[in-house]
Amino acid sequence: MNVVANGFPWLTLAGGLPLFGALVVALLPGGSGGSSPRASTAGLPADSAAVDVRTRDSLAKIIALAFSLATLVVVIIIAVRFRVGGPAFQFTEQYSWIPQFGVHYALGVDGIALVLIAMSAVLMPVVILAGWNDADSGTARHSVKTYFALLLVLETMMIGVFAATDVFLFYVFFEAMLIPMYFLIGSYGVGKRQYAAVKFLLYSLLGGLLMLVAVIALYVYSVRSPATAHHGSFLFSELIQVSLSPVVQKWLFLGFFIAFAIKAPLWPFHTWLPDAAASAQPGGAVLLVGVLDKVGTFGMLRYCFELFPSAARYFTPLVVTLAVIGVIYGAIVAIGQQDLKRLIAYTSISHFGFIALGVFVMTSQGVAGATLYMVNHGFVTGALFLLAGFLITRRGSSLISDYGGVQSVAPMLAGLFLVSGLAGLSLPGLSTFVSEFLVLLGTFSRYKVPAVIATAGIILAAIYILWMYQRMMNGPVKPSVSTMPDLRAREVLAVAPLLALTVFVGVYPKPVLDIINPAVRTTMSQVHQVDPTPAHPAPGYAAQNGVAP
């Protein structure tokens, strides 16, 4: 077996730790489905059986949290050891997997992949801590330990999909991550969870099928290409050297793009998201919207751009149009929502429009802003979903009209919700403002009208966030929330890191942008795009930006 590795296999360790943790949790004896003791406690007194089940469930939670924290430590080590300005892909590993078809287990990260892996590693322990009791409901169809094992398996898939540098391996992770999320929604969700889970799965499988056809076709063309010595390959580094005609690029681009547009989701491929987010447990919704959907926009940037550059340029006007429609549509529909989780889901559709817009305007500011937006959106929307989950758990309803005056009885919960909401409307000083500003700046330099229209999304965001907060948190205290307890220490500990990162990146985004920018420049060069030259450039602009004076 041919092996090419750059030092210690840190990425395999980062992805393998949660998978091993899932195995440990799954092999724990017994467990409970909802609140009912398992048959393994038969013969014990009822009280003793319940205590035994709760002890085992607590052990499963502690083990899951420990492995997620260990994974976070490994990812922090990777981030610290990452050399800004070094090779495009670092921590590379390459092992021949299926040599007959040129398939490799190949991993590596550039700055874009690294920040998304770091976001995933931060969100997982937060979700586990915040959703400590999410699987304890009597409506859960499987055991508590299964719930936390699924979360850890999902983390492995999330890290793998961002780190894969073999297109076939990427596809495997892309499809495999659907399985744990399907069960997290269908078995542990609320409301129309089965309908939402099946809808999510069917949409995703349809997109995946189209991408599979494109992946196979890409391999066939690589066999014919002298760039791969006619041996065929799925390695990303070799496929970007394969010469494809403009017509072939367009068809293969569409196969990848539609799959990524469904995953993102970009309007009009978005209809599965509100149902899935509303039916999932808050923790599941965080991972669904905060991480899994970023695979779509990441795929557009990594694969649609670099594998099919001429097709990407050809379809740019269409995608920019869809993105702008998504920005406005998501914001307008969010204003009219009566369900709290559905409102947050529609705000995310608007935000994904901004991200797709930043990606396809093909300017360094737009792409860097879109990448930073992916990270910031994960933290901000994660905090909103978790705080919404705390509210729903206390009140027993997700309807906005069932709340009122929460600020008077639970000031800390209301205050943190306000900070998260202000970040959602991109208030200056918070992280989303930086990313949204970069996206609009990059868009305006090349597409002025779409930039002006998209700016209206900021105004609409102020409406849906502030109006929601006013109805829920201000005004007279409704009798149904008069005894609502404030946040507990565990809940504060879960949300605090997300809000701390939101403030830190909003005030000082340079460390994150320093990691992102070199990867953005590499991507831009692969697509053969340079930033538009200003009408009146400052002295030294041409030399600093690599454009003709």
The answer to whether 197 and 186 are in contact (CB under 8 A) is: yes
Per-residue pLDDT at 38? 43
**Spatial contact of 366 and 443, defined as CB atoms under 8 Å apart:** yes
Single-letter amino acid code for the residue at 39: A
- Tell whether the model's pLDDT for residue 66 goes beyond 90: yes
pLDDT score at 549: 46
Torsion sign across C-alpha atoms 267, 468, 507, 532: positive
Whether 279 shows a pLDDT value over 90: the answer reads: no
Is 437 contained in some domain?
yes
Predicted local distance difference test score (pLDDT) of residue 142: 67
- What pLDDT shows up at residue 78? 94
Cis peptide before 226 (omega within 30 of 0): no
Q: What is the pLDDT of residue 51?
A: 56
Give the pLDDT confidence of 478-533 residue by residue, as tens digits: 888 888 888 899 889 999 999 999 999 999 999 999 999 998 888 888 877 777 76
Residue bearing the bigger pLDDT, 221 or 55: 221
In a domain, 441, yes or no: yes
Comparing 134-138, 160-164, 433-437, 536-540, the range with the smallest average pLDDT is: 536-540
Stretch 303-330: mean pLDDT: 90
Question: Between β-strands 3-5 and 90-98, what pairing exists: parallel, antiparallel or unpaired?
Answer: antiparallel
Q: Rounded to an integer, what distance in angstroms lies between the CA atom of residue 351 and that of residue 491?
A: 26
Q: Residue 414 in contact with residue 407, Cβ under 8 Å?
A: yes
Query: Where residue 45 falls among pLDDT bands split at 50, 70, 90?
Result: low
Residues written for the chain: 549
Number of domains in the chain: 1
Domain assignment present for residue 391? The answer is yes
> Residue 535 — pLDDT band, cuts 50, 70, 90?
low
3-state secondary structure 213-233: HHHHHHHHHHHHCHHHCCCCC
| Predicted pLDDT of residue 401 | 86
The residue among 51 and 439 whose pLDDT is bigger is: 439
In sequence order, which ranges of 264-293 are alpha helices (DSSP H)? 272-279, 282-287
Q: What range does the domain containing 514 cover?
A: 310-532
pLDDT at 53: 65
Q: What is the pLDDT of residues 5-37, one digit of tens each?
A: 557 899 999 999 999 999 999 888 865 554 444
Longest dimension (CA), the chain: 84
* Residue 11 contacts residue 159 (beta carbons within 8 Å): yes
What is the Cα gyration radius of the chain?
23
The predicted structure's pLDDT at residue 1: 40
Res 548 pLDDT > 80: no
Classify residue 68: in a domain, yes or no. Answer: no
Residue 207 near residue 258, CB atoms below 8 Å: yes
Arithmetic mean of pLDDT, 172-184:
90
2 falls within a domain = no
Compare 321 and 131 and report the one with higher pLDDT. 321
Q: How far is CA 22 from CA 120, 136, 153, 287, 491, in A?
A: 16, 18, 6, 17, 23
pLDDT digits (tens, 9 = 90+) for 446-469: 888 988 998 888 888 888 888 888
Please answer whether residues 128 and 161 qualify as being in contact, where contact means their C-beta atoms are separated by less than 8 angstroms.
no
Render pLDDT for 387-423 as a digit per residue (tens, 0 to 9).
998 988 888 888 888 888 888 888 999 999 999 999 8
CA gap 291, 289 in Å, rounded: 6
Query: Who contacts 137 (Cβ-Cβ below 8 Å, separation ≥6)?
Result: 34, 35, 188
72-81, 177-186, 398-407, 532-541: the lowest-pLDDT one: 532-541
The answer to whether residue 208 scores a pLDDT higher than 60 is yes
33 pairs with which residues across the strands? 36
Query: Residue 141 in 3-state DSSP?
Result: coil
Residue 425 within any structural domain of the chain: yes
Instruction: Classify residue 258: in a domain, yes or no.
Output: no
pTM over 0.85: yes
pLDDT band at 40 (very low <50, low <70, confident <90, very high): very low
What is the overall mean pLDDT for the chain?
85
The predicted model gives 86-105 an average pLDDT of: 86
Segment among 224-228, 254-258, 517-521 with least mean pLDDT: 224-228
- On whether residue 525 sits in a domain, the answer given is yes
**CA contacts within 13 A on the Cβ side of 82:** 29
Q: What average pLDDT does range 197-217 have in this prediction?
A: 89
Question: What is the spatial distance between Cα 490 and Cα 390, in angstroms, rounded to a whole number?
Answer: 11
Q: Which pLDDT belongs to residue 266?
A: 87
